Amino acid sequence: RLCCYLFQLVRSDNMAVLQESLIVTGTLLATCRGVLKLQQELYLSYLVACLHPTVQIPREPGIDPSLYIGIPETPKLVKPPPSQASSGRATPVSVKDRQKLGLEGGARKPDARQAMVETIGVLSRMPTFVAELF
């Protein structure tokens, strides 16, 4: 239950709440790594989604506009679903589902993004961090 509430606080726009919740969540994940592997994966997924840029892809002048047909204006985080119908849960999760679950970060302020990068840096300094995620 604690992770659930902390993850809700990490989505806060209030910088003081965000900063403290990032610290507490990082400490919790650092001390309980063996038990909270799925939560750690969810946490990192959310932080990366918040840090992913959503800038417009510029159109080059002098290029025929018909060549841009079908090319998205912004980069996408989610791959299109495979053409085959497969059983089980498909990954990656669609953007709508990610937003419902609170997994889609959206645009964050620069100071919030900096705090998130620092949190990822603190977690990645643990010697077995990446190996445990795998």
Contact 120, 47 (CB under 8 A): yes
Residue 125: alpha-carbon gap to chain centroid: 19
Question: What residues have CB less than 8 Å from 31, skipping those under 6 apart?
Answer: none
Please tell me the pTM assigned to this model: 0.62
- Please state, in angstroms and rounded to a whole number, the distance separating the CA atoms of residues 59 and 47: 29
Q: What is the mean pLDDT of residues 45-63?
A: 78
Contact 12, 22 (CB under 8 A): no
Kindly state the greatest CA–CA separation across the chain: 56
Question: Per-residue confidence at 30, pLDDT binned at 50, 70, 90?
Answer: confident
Question: Per-residue confidence at 104, pLDDT binned at 50, 70, 90?
Answer: low
DSSP assignment of 61-127 equals TTS-GGGGTT--SS--SSPPPPSS--SS--SSPPHHHHHHHT-------HHHHHHHHHHHHHHHTST
Q: What is the mean pLDDT of the chain?
A: 77
Return the domain boundaries, the chain: 1-55+98-134
